[in-house]
Structure 1
């Protein structure tokens, strides 16, 4: 057989025996399709699709992380397992990211109790770090709104480990405040209160701690006598303090004045000084609002000789206005006489000055409101005689309007 014939035979065999025809003689091998657990899903979202849906630019790895975090954990996952550790790491990382933290907060609001339990359990070992983090503290605050009794007990144990550090930290303090507001049992607050009681005065004067002190007043009112006993020798220092003043005011807002007599007595002793203080004047006004007639008389006595001076003062003018409103007619007439002079000998230059003063004009309006007809008339005459000057003064316009409403014409 020559080479040409051999080549023709090979081509003929190749043409007749194709791979398809050989397959029917091959043994059939059935390969089982592996079952993929529900939690091992492929990420089929492209970066461009993610961006078009969310408007957020990110990476494929980041998309996978977010999706994995929001998938339900596999059944039977236990603390300490590789999956649990991985999920814990992802939640912690997301909690510290501002955008992801917002996403997790929304998830908590719409989650089932079991899902919230999962989030709490994976975050709890990292709580010391998270409560002080600039982003994560908001997530922990959100969790505090949904804690069950067992979780509240665990959070209390966490706080008690280092409550001083947490109170002194601006973010940690917010978390503790939210816990106190949200807990369902006063027994979860009392240990914190007792731990902080030795430094309660310092707590009241703290930019962060004063919020905790105020929450104690609101949530465990049975402890108010202990609070009063602790701060009664420091009332003046707290009243003139930006933060301490808020705690004192919270006490006046929440309790009848009869329960605050030790504090009231301390304020009355320094009322003249406190009336002109930018913070203390509010506490003096608290006493005028809720005080007894004896308290009001004590304040009027303290201010006697200073009514005109205080009427022109930025802070004290508010106190004098409140004093006029709370005084009886006899006390009011005494105050007005000191400010603008007695009938028949009114101090016209003083009236003119007060009408055009940014603070004094408010006290003049109160004299018009509560004063006698004679006192109203003298204010009108002084204003009328100086109308061309006073009309150009923005503060005097309040007095002119007040007189016009009573029927006086200019």
Structure 2
């Protein structure tokens, strides 16, 4: 290992760390007497704030916190806590704070969470602060999680459409019991169609579908999706909400979606996004759901016009392939027969 000659700088600790004096994830320091010293967390007492704001210094502290003694953690926490809010908004300091949430003592996690209160909304809008809030929602006690949610109740609508704060809202849905996020759910449900077509918004709706099991909530979400189902299924973001509803919804909700999509089977199947929603229905739907889709695709006459149109489409052909994979043997034989009659084999995609 290359040694660092710092004999010209007898001060301790060494100057702001750089890539040049970083070796094997530890600082190596040559004292004036010539001894090589691998720095410990305790060597930076009195300099932890500045070190936390440095790219390699923050990495050093994070590494040391994983194996630090209780005494070292207490001493480091005592020094960093008065500056916690500023560090939460710093690119590298925020990483140290998140590491304290992960590896700190229970009382230290509670103490850091207390620093959040009164600043949850502003931190949620911050590029680095929002990540600290998310980490806190994963690891702090439930009563503190609920307090975090309460601070956001009056700002939910703003947070939903913010690239950073929307991740905090999503984490609230995933980490806090449903009875404590009523405001968040209500605001989301009231604007499902708009939210589903928004980049971060569609992820929040997916989390609500996965984690909120209240019957009334589920019904309101499904009804909102079904009211504009074709628009959402054919949308670049909305289709993921439809697919999530199909995968995680109740059988009766899934059937409601299948029936609505079946009414527009050609339009949706030919759409690059909508075809994914149809395929999800075939994979997670019941036998009756698949049969309904099959009957609509085959059409009511021997010409099988929907089948011919769909299989020739760039996206539609994948719907037909998924249909062949998910139907029973009798249905598969019928589809293949119709494909052969109309000489459509060349349009089917090759197996991966």
Shorter-chain TM-score above 0.5? yes
Structure 2 residue 121 is matched with structure 1 residue 164: yes
CA change 1:142–1:334 in 2 (3 A) is closer
Deviation of 1:353 (Å): 5.5
Which runs of structure 2 are paired with 1:53-132 in the superposition (5 Å)?
54=23, 70=40, 72=42, 87-88=45-46, 90-132=47-89
Partner-residue secondary structure (3-state), 1:206: coil
Unaligned runs of 5+ residues in structure 2 are 1-9
Counterpart pick for 2:349 among 381, 389, 396: 396
CA change 1:122–1:204 in 2 (3 A) is same
Structure 2 residue 267 is matched with structure 1 residue 309: yes
Deviation of 1:386 (Å): 6.2
Q: Give yes or no for contact 1:152–1:188 (8 Å, CA) kept in 2.
A: no
2:209 equivalent in structure 1: 252
2:333 equivalent in structure 1: 373
1:321 equivalent in structure 2: 279
Which runs of structure 2 are paired with 1:2-17 in the superposition (5 Å)?
none
CA change 1:158–1:303 in 2 (3 A) is same
Q: CA RMSD in A?
A: 3.5
CA change 1:292–1:160 in 2 (3 A) is closer
Structure 2 residue 211 is matched with structure 1 residue 217: no
Structure 2 residue 271 is matched with structure 1 residue 271: no
Q: Which has the larger radius of gyration?
A: 1
1:147 equivalent in structure 2: 104
1:14 equivalent in structure 2: none
1:282 equivalent in structure 2: 240
Counterpart pick for 1:345 among 294, 303, 323: 303
Deviation of 1:361 (Å): 1.4
Partner-residue secondary structure (3-state), 2:314: coil
Structure 2 residue 169 is matched with structure 1 residue 200: no
1:29 equivalent in structure 2: none
1:237 equivalent in structure 2: 194
**In the aligned structure 1, how far is the partner of 2:102 from the partner of 2:21?**
34
Which runs of structure 2 are paired with 1:31-42 in the superposition (5 Å)?
none
Partner-residue secondary structure (3-state), 1:110: coil
Q: Give yes or no for contact 1:324–1:366 (8 Å, CA) kept in 2.
A: yes
Partner-residue secondary structure (3-state), 1:161: coil
2:5 equivalent in structure 1: none
**In the aligned structure 1, how far is the partner of 2:81 from the partner of 2:153?**
27
**In the aligned structure 2, how far is the partner of 1:191 from the partner of 1:92?**
27
**In the aligned structure 1, how far is the partner of 2:288 from the partner of 2:235?**
28
Q: Give yes or no for contact 1:206–1:244 (8 Å, CA) kept in 2.
A: no
Highest RCO, 1 vs 2 (Cα 8 Å, sep ≥ 6): 2
Return the TM-score normalized by structure 2. Answer: 0.80
Counterpart pick for 2:133 among 176, 179, 183: 176
Return the TM-score normalized by structure 1. Answer: 0.70
CA change 1:105–1:377 in 2 (3 A) is same
Q: Give yes or no for contact 1:311–1:359 (8 Å, CA) kept in 2.
A: yes
Unaligned runs of 5+ residues in structure 1 are 1-40, 74-85, 402-410
Q: Give yes or no for contact 1:275–1:281 (8 Å, CA) kept in 2.
A: yes
CA change 1:354–1:102 in 2 (3 A) is same
Q: Give yes or no for contact 2:28–2:39 (8 Å, CA) kept in 1.
A: no
